[in-house]
Amino acid sequence: MKAHLLIDIQNDFMPSGSLAVPGGDEVIPIVNELMPKYDLVVATQDWHPENHGSFAANHPGKSIFEQILLAGLPQTLWPVHCVQNTGGALFAPGLDTRLIDRVFTKGMNPQIDSYSGLYDNGHSASTGMGEWLKSQAVTELQVAGVATDYCVKFTVLDALGEGFDVSLITTACRGVNLQAGDVDRALEEMQAAGCKVM
Ligand code: VGL
Ligand code: ZN
């Protein structure tokens, strides 16, 4: 079975959102057209409590994009984004959510971020996605969404680690590029780990 994996196609990652990914909205028409071609469509949703430790606003004196240690792990500080039950956390308008079979939320623990759709950044808790995909006999994943250099990359690396055959649909991914070249380096890292780049 082959699944389409849609990463964080949410308002706050669209060009007008609080953690805007340039061109993030351009992936929507592409994935809408692709979704019907898969046995299953699975989406992730970044879903943070207001007090989440990845928000610069929760660390007085710290700035957005600064690096800190959060419960012992390196953490980039982000603008407040994808807060549970706010508009910013909703799937972006135009995404045909009727074709999504399952949604996995991530990033609920205030003490640890979760870029990957499968595990938190410390690999201490599973979202259940990998287990569920295996229960559905899925062996092949084709990944699209945002951001290429964060949540897409870590989802791909974890999925490869779980033994899935993973391809990245690069035309349907957009990245943050906080530092010039981050997206290119992320693509190289994913390929080196065994991901096919389409
Ligand atoms: C993401 C930063 C913080 C992403 C989520 O979806 O790539 N990036 N939270
Ligand atoms: Zn987040």
pLDDT tens for each residue of 122-179: 999 999 999 999 999 999 999 999 999 999 999 999 999 999 999 999 999 999 999 9
CATH number, domain of 39, equals: 3.40.50.850
Model's pTM, two decimal places?
0.97
Catalytic residue annotation: 8, 106, 151
| SS3 state at 134 | helix
* CA dist 40 → 7, 138, 156, 189 (Å): 14, 8, 17, 26
Provide the domain limits for residue 127: 2-197
pLDDT tens for each residue of 103-121: 999 999 999 999 999 999 9
CA count, 13 A, side-chain hemisphere, 63: 2
44 confidence band (pLDDT: 50, 70, 90): very high
In which element (H, E) is residue 94 found? none
List, in sequence order, every beta strand (DSSP E) within 8-62: 40-46
Q: Is 150 in the pocket of ligand 1 (CB under 6 A)?
A: yes
9 confidence band (pLDDT: 50, 70, 90): very high
Atom of ligand 1 nearest to the CA of 48: 9
Residue with tokens 């007008």: 16
Domain count, the chain: 1
To test the ligand 1 pocket, which listed residue (46, 48, 65, 158) has its Cβ within 8 A of the most ligand atoms? 46
* Residue 58, pLDDT score: 98
CB atoms within 10 A of CB 32: 13
